[in-house]
Chain A
Amino acid sequence: MTATDTHRAIDAVWRIESARLIAGLARIVRDVGVAEELAQDALVAALEQWPLSGVPENPGAWLMATAKHRAIDLVRRRKMQERKHEDVGRVLEAERAEAAPDIDASLDDDIGDDLLRLVFMACHPVLSTEARVALTLRLLGGLTTDEIARAFLVPEPTIAQRIVRAKRTLTEKQVPFDVPRGDELVERLTSVLEVIYLIFNEGYTATAGDDWMRPGLCEDALRLGRIVAELMPHESEVHGLVSLMEIQASRSKARVNKDGEPILLLDQNRALWDQLLIRRGLAALDRAAKLGSQRGRYAAQAAIAACHARAVEAAETDWKRIAEFYAELAALTPSPVIELNRAVAVGMAFGPQAGLDLADVLESEPSLKDYHLLPSVRGDFLVKLGRAEEARTEFQRAAALTRNARERQLLLARAQACGGATP
């Protein structure tokens, strides 16, 4: 193997192994910052030795063994320096880890738990959301600081600082390396899912011409979601989130036209929807349902996405079901925007008057005062009810509220199409 081949092989191994490596080390040293450093040291050793000795049979085990020795030395040294803070338990843990005759076996038994602990640590609510995102992508996604910076359109030193500070905060606040239980688990899991979905959405909103790291975030989020789903197979909301992401990702080829402008879901060419991802999304939704617990917010959103995914053509959409799911979602996370979406679905299912009745209620909603989609949706209902004059007013109102030039054009065109006297 040439040196380049080896380097490429090491990159790939790193991608596969780094999270588990850091997780296993974090359990020994109880500090993710130190764990990452040790993992990096092992990587450096690999870069030095593997070009000469060849890539080992089991590269993960090699890295873990190399890093573990140094981890144990570190813990011992710490113990000697801080005699008064004797943590016998920790040293015993480290010694047990070293004594483990079959590294592979002990790796498999504990590594799932350790990985989960790492997930919860990186997503700890004591950190700011951006810190959680950066740390998760770094420790679990295996992305470099540069890759994260490019993905979020932020200078690299900013990300580097964010990560350094995040690790410091976790140490200072003495955040335990543990999987939370009971009530705490629910809250902490919410944070994890939030981080993953945030990463996904950042990638989802990437526009054409962006650095390819950006849409790549959808893949990173999907992979993380799938991994967490296997680590916590009994948590239905994890499957709900995975389902939502799979189905949303299934539309990525159909979502933008060749000029990079977004195409509305109902106007998309469904032949471009990725059926493999849809199938996976529906399977994940099924898994969530089979767990029996009540649908959470992600599963409810996924259920809506699934309704669209199942319709071969827009005309076949089961709007009644979608309206029901929106009602469910509104009960879980009440929001005027969700109500507006429900109004649209109700309008499609039961006719424009039913939809308009719901939209009218939202007219008095203060948070929607400057939201262009409200008059846009009302305008649409009014057109369908033959009330062209009023519809025109609404489309003009919407056009004035939107900040998107192309959207404004479309709304003004709709206003024009309503005919009537020009003021």
Chain B
Amino acid sequence: MRVMVIVKANKQSEAGEMPSQKLLADMGKFNDELIKAGVMLAGEGLAASSKGKRVRFSKDGKQTVIDGPFAETKELIAGFWIWKVKSMQEAIDWLKRCPNPHDQEACEIEIRQVFEAEDFGPELREQEMRQREKLAAKS
């Protein structure tokens, strides 16, 4: 399965400030580990929301372009990874090795599962049923 790992923004990232040398080095090392383990599929940092825009879709189909920066800093995204893992637990385990992207401040990193084609089809349900049967037979 794939997961998207989302790093939220903070005052520093929104101000366009570079993280400390130590954090850069630690983060570089962590990314290296991910690559060496064949887990890393993609990873990007996002520019501050002051450089971003939003397009608002109103109910009647009207579109309005809004310039950044945007207010709710801790809900904004500062960067993301896409990892290839066997389970959500594996993703959590990897994340435990990640340096705090906000240096000393508290922060949260979110892990979200990426939809695969099978998530939409009857095949997954069938597969689940087969697995349940198997487990039932074992117990």
Contact = CB atoms under 8 A, between A and B. Distances in A.
A224 to B, nearest CB: 7
Interface residues of B, number: 19
A276 B41 contact: yes
B42 A276 contact: yes
Contacts of B86: 12, 15
B72 interface: no
A230 B36 contact: yes
Contacts of A225: 38
Interface in B83-109: 84, 86-87, 89-90, 92-94
Nearest to A142: B86
A16 B39 CA distance: 10
B89 A16 contact: no
Given A212-B127, A253-B117, A276-B82, A12 B38 contact: no
A235 B90 CA distance: 30
Contacts of A112: 36
B93 A12 contact: yes
A224 B117 contact: no
Given A212-B127, A227-B36, A227-B37, A15 B90 contact: yes
B131 to A, nearest CB: 9
B89 A230 contact: no
Given A223-B84, A280-B41, A13 B36 contact: no
Contacts of A208: 123
A16 B93 contact: yes
A16 B36 contact: no
Interface residues of A, number: 24
Interface string A216-241: 00010011111100110000000000
Nearest to B93: A12
A69 interface: no
A215 to B, nearest CB: 10
A112 B37 CA distance: 11
B35 interface: yes
A127 B41 CA distance: 33
A11 interface: yes
Interface string A5-33: 00011011101100000000000000000
A209 B93 CA distance: 31
Contacts of A253: 117
18 contacts: A8-B87, A8-B89, A12-B87, A12-B89, A12-B90, A15-B86, A15-B90, A16-B37, A16-B93, A16-B94, A112-B36, A219-B84, A222-B84, A223-B38, A223-B39, A226-B35, A227-B36, A227-B37
Nearest 3 Cβ contacts at the A-B interface:
A226-B38, A223-B38, A12-B89
Interface of B: 35-39, 41-42, 82, 84, 86-87, 89-90, 92-94, 117, 123, 127
Given A212-B127, A276-B42, 12 more contacts: A9-B93, A11-B87, A11-B89, A12-B90, A12-B93, A13-B93, A16-B94, A112-B36, A226-B38, A227-B38, A231-B36, A276-B82
